[in-house]
Amino acid sequence: MSKAIFIRNASQLVTLEGSSHAPLVKEAMSELRIIENGSVWIEDGIIQAVGTDEELLAEYGDRLGEAEVVDATGKLVTPGLVDPHTHLVHAGSRENEFNMRLQGATYMEIMNAGGGIHATTSATKAASHEQLYQESYARLDQFLLHGVTTVEAKSGYGMEWETELKQLEVAKQLNENHVVDVVSTFMGAHAIPKEFKENPDEYVRLLVKEMIPKVAELGLAEFNDVFCEHGVFTPEQSRIILEAGKRHGLIPKIHADEIVAYEGAELAAEVGAISADHLLKASEKGLAAMAEKGVVGVLLPGTAYFLMAESANGRKMIDTGVPVALSTDCNPGSSPTVSLPFIMNLGCLKMGMTPAEVITAATINAAHAINRGSEIGSLEVGKKGDVTIFNVNNYMKLQYSYGVNHVDTVVKNGVVVVKGGQLCEELSFSKNESA
């Protein structure tokens, strides 16, 4: 068992207590449940106590010699950050497309010219399992350095069984070996493969009859995602794919209304999706339906920023009652970043969200977007000992000083894995060895 951890005397300890049963909405997204001079006692990887330093000293003072003490004086302590939408496992980069975009080419124009998703698909197909593993492992290290302790990872850069399987197996291996938890999503419905361009329904049949059942049988994913977009999968095709996943125990997710209004938000509510992501062009009707059904809106301001597009209206969604989460959408084409803190900055600067709301969106609401709200996302007794400590003394300053990595310390499963902004080299980052 790991040594007890005593995080002491934080300037502000953001607990988000009481939000494990459902994501926060509307005004509740601003209720951070802050404890000043706050402390946390973690033992066997699980939070045992949360309160003021005085309260925890009274309870654990006679055991200080047993614990690793982390001095959080003058610092902000939050739950470990959660990234609920990434394309973590991939090969290759697309900086050439960045230059094309700067010269006026649109996302769909680049994709239809053989770039975009298809370019990364070719690189990922060509990469070995070991290459994908090593490159993705290095990305996870960078996520960790930016305070992220759990990520969702999608497949979707194969769109044929062998490469989809390779991506999912790499994600599984990363979850086993890296200290960051990796939650897998099958996204064979990321694009229409070139060979099915004239007969997309046949590819839908392949997904429904062959690939989805295999993924479920092998236990390689928890979620099933589809890119519901004009020129990709229609709402009806998307419904067929998501319902097929449900029959095999895969929870629906959906890339919805990113480029045009396409009834993706409405579909998310109809099929009972756990989240609908992007939503730049979502209709008022669709957002109202999502709010009614409690579908988490996972917003990706880094993608809009990189594509030089108008961001989703986070303010409107929150006011409508949609539970909002934030994510990097880490991918090589439209959001090549691992900095969730910067995404939080963009939530304030580009989407009308408040500093309190973006913390909620990157912790407990993000946890609910990947079905982990009962385990992570808040600092409460019984939850995983996942904690991020920032070298600022209040949560407002975290958003005020933008584009800076303020992460000082990260605790994952009750083990200090980042200290002084650096990875702890003495750790193997193996879950088996840190438990």
Q: pLDDT tens across 60-71, in order? A: 999 999 999 999
pLDDT at site 316: 98
346: Cβ contacts below 8 Å, ≥ 6 apart? 301, 302, 305, 311
Percentage of residues in the chain with pLDDT exceeding 90? Answer: 91
Task: Give the pLDDT score at 425.
Answer: 77
pLDDT value of position 1: 58
- Phi/psi of residue 192, nearest 5 degrees: -85, 120
Number of neighbouring beta carbons within 10 Å of residue 251: 19
- Encoded amino acid at 86, one letter: T
Distances (CA, A) of 234 to 180, 230, 267, 357: 35, 7, 11, 33
Residue 387 has pLDDT above 50, yes or no: yes
Among candidate residues 236, 249, 243, 256, the one with its CA nearest the CA of residue 298: 256
CA distances for 134 relative to 90, 231, 249, 298, angstroms: 11, 34, 30, 28
| SS3 state of residue 11 | strand
Cβ(186)–Cβ(221) under 8 Å? yes
- On the question of pLDDT at 432 being above 80, the answer is no
Percentage with pLDDT > 70 across the chain = 97
What is the number of H-type helices and E-type strands within the chain?
Answer: 18, 17
Express each pLDDT in 140-164 by its tens digit. 999 999 999 999 999 999 999 999 9
pLDDT tens sequence across 311-321 = 999 999 999 99
Q: Which of 79-88, 111-120, 214-223 has the lowest mean pLDDT?
A: 111-120
Determine if the pTM surpasses 0.95. Answer: yes
Distance of CA 327 to the CA centre of its chain: 5
Tell me what the pLDDT averaged over the chain comes to: 95
Residue 255's alpha-carbon distances to 230, 307, 323, in angstroms, are: 12, 16, 16
Distance of CA 312 to the CA centre of its chain: 17
Q: Whole-angstrom Cα distance, residue 411 to residue 414?
A: 6
So what's the pLDDT on residue 217?
98
Closest CA to 92 of 53, 132, 63: 132
Mean pLDDT on 215-242 = 98
